Amino acid sequence: MNNPDFNSPEFGGIRNEAGTNRFALSVSQWIIRTNAIGIRASAGRYGGTFAHKDIAFEFASWISPKFKLYLIKEFQRLKIDEIQRLKLDWDIKRNLAKINYHIHTDAIKSNLIPEKVSKTKEYLIYATEADILNLALFGLTAKEWRDNNPKQEGNIRDYADVSQLVCLSNLENLNALFIKEGINKLKRLEKLNNIAIEQMIILTNQHIIKKLK
């Protein structure tokens, strides 16, 4: 994988000889004959054989089944931990957007939806307000995204990156405030779009992204 100059034909000869009574191979001979890297041998008081950790792990696994089992178990544990940590990290950011969405919809219900409005009209009002945020941040409505991505499952927000989710949370809070202040939809869209542009410029800075992740 890491040595394009490895002498494979010579290695094939060594492999065929291995196991016979006459076979003997020192580390130095192995390096010379196969042009190996990642391992070296030196003589003298402070000499010895030194290998890359990948080679050392393989050698230790070969001489100790117990060590090999520990290595396998530790790898599995780390992968499970990684999966759970990344899933939790995503859920926190996704749930942050969902929590703020409830604040947002409560503001709509208190300030935009007339009393005794039909459920159909209520849904349309919610959808319209959601699309104000979609337009401000993504530049298109939920329907436009679905039309452009017929094979994708979920919605446009499910495919947002970390910086977009952070910005979306901020926009939801601001839109709720703008609604309470009685600002009309077109003006809110303009204000939210300008804010989204400013925040995304900051959030897409590589230094900021590393902190978010």
Angle made by CA atoms 61, 67, 70, in degrees to the nearest 5: 120
**Claim to verify: residue 57 and residue 83 sit in the same structural domain:** no
Q: Can you read off the two tokens belonging to residue 24?
A: 């003997």
Cβ proximity of 145 and 156 under 8 Å: yes
161 found inside a domain: yes
**One-letter amino acid of 45:** R
3 found inside a domain: no
Q: Which domain holds residue 18?
A: 8-63
**Claim to verify: residue 150 and residue 200 sit in the same structural domain:** yes
Looking at the 3D structure of the chain, how many domains does it have?
2
Q: Which pLDDT score, from 0 to 100, does residue 155 have?
A: 87
Report percent pLDDT > 90 for the chain.
23
37 found inside a domain: yes
Q: Which pLDDT score, from 0 to 100, does residue 80 have?
A: 86
95-138 per-position pLDDT tens digit:
667 666 666 666 655 554 445 555 555 555 666 888 888 888 88
Helix (H) or strand (E) holding 23: none
Comparing 155 with 119, the larger pLDDT belongs to 155
Q: Which pLDDT score, from 0 to 100, does residue 211 have?
A: 54
